[in-house]
Amino acid sequence: MNTAAPALEISGLTKSFGTTRALEEVDLVVESGTVHCVLGENGAGKSTLCHVVGGSVAPDAGGLRLYGSPYAPRRPADALAAGIAMVHQHFSLVPTLTVGENMRLLRLRDLPRRVARVREEYGLELDLDARVSELPVGVRQRTEIVKALLREPRLLVLDEPTGVLGPAGTDALLATCRRIAESGHAVVLVTHKLGEVARAGDAATVLRGGRVSGGGPLAELPPERLVPLMIGRPAGSLDAGLAGTIGLAADGDSPEAGASGSGKTRAGGPEPAGRALAVGTAEPGGRAEPGGKAAARVTQALRLRDVSVRRADGTSALDEVSLDVGYGEIVGIAGVEGNGQSELMALLGGSLAPVAGRVELDGRDLTRAAPRERSRAGLGVVPEDRLHEGCVPQLRVADNLFLGRLDRFRRHGVLLDRRAMDRAADSVLTGHGIRADGPGALMSSLSGGNQQKVVLARELALDPLICLAAAQPTRGLDIGAVGAVHSRIRDAAAAGTGVLVVSSELSELLVLCDRITVAYRGKLLGPVDPAEPDARERIGALMLGARASRPGPENTGHTPEALR
Amino acid sequence: MSAVVEELVSGGVRLAVPLLLASSGELLSERAGVLNLSVEGMMLTGAFAGATGALASGNAGVGVLAALAAGLLFAALQALLSVVLRADQIVTGITANVLALGATTYGSRVFFGDGAADSVPGFDPIPVPGLHSVPVLGPALFEQTALGYAAFAVAAVLALGFSRRTSWGLAVDAIGEDATTADRCGLPVRAVRFAAVLLTGAVSGLAGAQLALSEVHAFSDNITGGIGYLAVVAVIAGRWRAWPTLVACLFFGVAQSLQFAAPALGLHLSAPLLTTLPYVIALLAVSGLVGRSRAPSGLTVPFLRGA
């Protein structure tokens, strides 16, 4: 092995799918001992690039060199044999097996030693006896990364690894990346979050529309220069929410740099007070007091009282949780995944019944209502797993939009008036800026962002819409889609709908919400007013169950500060 | 030679009728996410009940009603197990078939003594004036029994009434593809699945009656002999779509009639070997289609809210 040669050298890589050019003349050099970030919006070609490196997609033209020697994988096994480990966005874990059993599937020699080594070297702890299907998404991701590290790869490729992680998980992952790089290997980190790039990367290559739009050592590429490369317009044109989700304001290092001059106002609605927004730009005078005004009304849009939920294995997922969402209020739930957020969403969606407590919508008891009663009563739910719970990928977009309201389109008894349906769908597509090949396109042919917009559009179309609960509404979406989703959520709140947003993206919550509570071990802690100057630090501390002002592992022992 | 072709086609269509009936139900049931392997048992029960009813009352119509009722009852058991109790659909299906074979064989000993019922009152072909004399197609399509014509009508109504262009058909597809989403959208997942299985039972019962009352006017042990499985295969070969399933049924019908036409074609094989012919052809047809078809995502996955 020639150590002077770069870990990975890609030159002139071109790949088309049908008429779409996914990659065009892409050049990329990853030096060994570095973390190289590949940046770009959805559809920029990042995933295709990963697939080519991983051997699952053959390029049309161009070549790869790995540590100086020619590398032309024809199947994923070739990549593994060459010492490349991939972690894809979609997990490759068998859900019915335990973590340990999944690792044994790799058929590696001295597995216990390797596991111990990964634990020691990278501080990645795992419960080997836990069943994968029962693990929260964040832990599955960690398992996936440990699996990749067990092979002791020379090059680790991570495709959007932090999308499912909370801030602490992201920190740990980025630290892991650094450690791998420092041990002399190379890491390719594919992401669209600039905050991560700034913190963990040594160099970056930016893709836009399948071409390299720029790149170089990060010392010469501050976020302000990366943003225009990614999206083709200057950073100043971004709204605070957008800036937040791509990580400009995300990571606390330089909060004021990101949310420059951004503010948002709401048009009308029961609570028209403008809020002071984004990190570090709080003005005490402009702060709203959502609790006060909402409490003056007799009922809340959504009210949870002492709700307890158990998981299938009998452990407590939600422990006497109470929560109010006022009309027109946006309440955020932050927290590391696996602290009861998924169960909270399942509870609201009606797929999980509480063992105790009460759920009220607009003063009406919905504790044990079936999903369809909930949507009729005006509770819209955008589930976290939109592909498996939110839509039917094999049906058309129009079918998905109106699945719950097919009666509206009956003609001659049972026949569907598909033309009317398509017309109605078309106006939804236009109104929500959903990019699809018409209302007749299969849902599965849409990008993740557009699928999300369809699910959101369907739930927003509920009449009446008293409360909207959305989990990870912008996970995996590109910047344009994030902006659209955020403005839809704000519009709904402006029209008087109570909104509950569960997100692992703290920056998103900070710019979107009137009030943020933190899920921690089945309790909701807080609330924190996002306009407070130290909101980020306080939330970070609450995520670790502490009341301390600064986050850190040393605080985990402190007494949780329970909400109500 | 043309006589052989005519015999092959008209025999094929005649044999395809029970297949078509059962497949049209099975198609619906599978699109809703329930794999009814028990179609075979439903048909066999229907054939037995049809023969018994017709023989006891002396009226073939009563036999048809008995077959319908038996098919429904059998389906209710299957639906209870696979939809309500969420038992494994493959296991319950196969078990139900074995149960049906045992029960009808025992029943025919009790009712018909030596295990076969001859000269059961049945239906005779009613040629449609004019049309039946059209070469090849005439005898194939227009010399059916009343039950045969009814079968065409039922299959057509099911295919059109539950096409994806109807609200029912779309709901069925949504439930079979993704029951959780369908439930969230307010579609009655379990009710639709239960109803789809019942419907399969009813049409399979009719298919059984067709075998016992239209074809041979008799009941013998295991009279279906695997036709119910062929109906399931036809749905797979038809890639869960109505028209291709119809084509598959006709194809399997012709494959079955091949065993009768074999001597005329100069194929001198032993009879037991000939009866395996349609199944060999079905296997080849399905293996040729492997990879090109995609089952409904929720097929055989029981629905439980929150699971």
Judgement on whether residues A483 and A366 belong to the same structural domain of the protein:
yes
Confidence of residue B46 (pLDDT cuts 50, 70, 90): very high
Judgement on whether residues A16 and A99 belong to the same structural domain of the protein:
no
Distance from CA of A210 to the nearest CA of B (A): 31
> Which residue, A264, A289, A311, sits at the end of a domain?
A264
| Rounded to 5°, angle at Cα B55 from B54 and B57 | 65
**Tens-digit pLDDT profile for residues A385-412:** 777 778 898 899 999 999 888 888 887 7
pLDDT score for A337: 73
* Helices A479-494 & A223-231 angle (0-180, nearest 10): 90
pLDDT score for A244: 54
Q: Is A378 inside any structural domain?
A: yes
Helix (H, G, I), strand (E, B) or coil at A258: helix
Count Cβ atoms within 10 A of the Cβ of residue A18 and give its class: 0-12 exposed, 13-18 middle, 19 or more buried. exposed
Judgement on whether residues A231 and A293 belong to the same structural domain of the protein:
no
pLDDT score for A123: 74
Q: Is A423 inside any structural domain?
A: no
pLDDT score for A232: 67
* pLDDT over 90, % of chain B: 42
A304 DSSP β-pair partners: A323, A359
Q: Is A371 inside any structural domain?
A: yes
Measured between CB atoms, does A409 come within 8 Å of chain B?
A: yes
Max Cα-Cα span within chain B: 62
Residue A271 reports pLDDT greater than 50: no
Q: Which amino acid is at A41?
A: E
Measured between CB atoms, does A383 come within 8 Å of chain B?
A: yes
Residue A536 reports pLDDT greater than 60: yes
Residue B1's alpha-carbon distances to A142, B5, B6, B251, B257, in angstroms, are 71, 6, 9, 20, 15
Q: Once rounded to an integer, what is the mean pLDDT over residues B240-258?
A: 89
Are B185 and A403 inside 8 Å of each other by CB? yes
- Could you tell me how many helices (H) and strands (E) chain A has, helices first? 19, 22
Distance from CA of B20 to the nearest CA of A (A): 23
Count Cβ atoms within 10 A of the Cβ of residue B113 and give its class: 0-12 exposed, 13-18 middle, 19 or more buried. exposed
Judgement on whether residues A63 and A182 belong to the same structural domain of the protein:
yes
> Which residue, A264, A284, A311, sits at the end of a domain?
A264
Find chain B residues with C-beta within 8 A of A389's C-beta. Answer: 180-181, 184
pLDDT score for A165: 67
State how far the Cα of A209 lies from the Cα of A45, in Å rounded to an integer.
7
**Tens-digit pLDDT profile for residues B17-34:** 999 999 999 999 999 999
Q: What is the DSSP string of A163-231?
A: GG--HHHHHHHHHHHHHHHHTT-EEEEEES-HHHHHHH-SEEEEEETTEEEEEEEGGG--HHHHHHHHH
Residue B144 reports pLDDT greater than 80: yes
Find out if CATH 3.40.50 is the number for domain B2-124+139-286: no
State how far the Cα of B178 lies from the Cα of B172, in Å rounded to an integer.
10
User: Which chain A residue is nearest to residue B177, measuring alpha carbons?
Assistant: A392
CB atoms near residue B70 (< 10 Å): 28
Find chain A residues with C-beta within 8 A of B185's C-beta. Answer: 372, 375, 403-404, 458
CB A119 within 8 A of CB A296: no
The position carrying tokens 């209710």 is B76
Judgement on whether residues A139 and A125 belong to the same structural domain of the protein:
yes
Measured between CB atoms, does A179 come within 8 Å of chain B?
A: no
pLDDT score for A237: 53
Average pLDDT value over all residues in chain A? 79
- Could you tell me how many helices (H) and strands (E) chain B has, helices first? 12, 2
Confidence of residue B165 (pLDDT cuts 50, 70, 90): confident
Q: Count of residues for chain B? A: 307
Are A399 and B174 inside 8 Å of each other by CB? yes
Domain that includes residue A379, residue range:
273-389+461-563
pLDDT score for B111: 84
Q: Which two tokens stand for residue A541?
A: 């501390």
**Tens-digit pLDDT profile for residues B283-300:** 887 777 665 667 888 888
Measured between CB atoms, does A215 come within 8 Å of chain B?
A: no
Q: Is A404 inside any structural domain?
A: no
CB atoms near residue A444 (< 10 Å): 12
Confidence of residue A253 (pLDDT cuts 50, 70, 90): very low
Find chain A residues with C-beta within 8 A of B157's C-beta. Answer: none
**From the candidates A392, A412, A444, A455, which should be mutated to test the interface with B, based on the most B CB atoms within 10 A?**
A392
Find chain A residues with C-beta within 8 A of B187's C-beta. Answer: 372, 403-404
Q: With a threshold of 0.80, does the pTM exceed it? A: no
Find chain B residues with C-beta within 8 A of A404's C-beta. Answer: 184-187
Are B167 and A372 inside 8 Å of each other by CB? no
Judgement on whether residues A65 and A115 belong to the same structural domain of the protein:
no
Count Cβ atoms within 10 A of the Cβ of residue B135 and give its class: 0-12 exposed, 13-18 middle, 19 or more buried. exposed
Q: Once rounded to an integer, what is the mean pLDDT over residues B119-124?
A: 82
The position carrying tokens 């039946």 is B132
User: Which chain B residue is nearest to residue A344, measuring alpha carbons?
Assistant: B306
Q: What is the DSSP string of A290-345?
A: HHHHHHTSSS-SEEEEEEEEE-TTS-EEEEEEEEEE-TT-EEEEE--TTSSHHHHH
Distance from CA of B201 to the nearest CA of A (A): 23
pLDDT score for A286: 35
Q: Is A189 inside any structural domain?
A: yes
Q: Which amino acid is at A422?
A: D
pLDDT score for A555: 37
Are B173 and A395 inside 8 Å of each other by CB? yes
Find chain B residues with C-beta within 8 A of A394's C-beta. Answer: 173, 177-178, 296-297
The position carrying tokens 């420092």 is A182
> Which residue, A129, A152, A175, sits at the end of a domain?
A152
Are A392 and B170 inside 8 Å of each other by CB? no
**Tens-digit pLDDT profile for residues A43-81:** 678 888 998 999 888 999 999 999 999 999 988 889 988
pLDDT score for A413: 74
Counting the structural domains of chain A, the total is 3
State how far the Cα of A226 lies from the Cα of A228, in Å rounded to an integer.
6
Q: Which two tokens stand for residue A207?
A: 């893709």
Judgement on whether residues A189 and A169 belong to the same structural domain of the protein:
yes
Residue A239 reports pLDDT greater than 70: no
The position carrying tokens 């006589």 is B3
Judgement on whether residues A187 and A253 belong to the same structural domain of the protein:
yes
Find chain B residues with C-beta within 8 A of A410's C-beta. Answer: 167
ipTM: 0.76
CB A144 within 8 A of CB A94: no
Confidence of residue B120 (pLDDT cuts 50, 70, 90): confident
Judgement on whether residues A128 and A260 belong to the same structural domain of the protein:
no
Nearest to B100 by CA among B226, B15, B212: B226
pLDDT score for A202: 93
Judgement on whether residues A516 and A495 belong to the same structural domain of the protein:
yes
Q: Closest to A388 (Cβ–Cβ): which among B174, B180, B187?
A: B180
CATH assignment at residue A287: 3.40.50.300
Find chain A residues with C-beta within 8 A of B186's C-beta. Answer: 371-372, 375-376, 404
Judgement on whether residues A290 and A230 belong to the same structural domain of the protein:
no
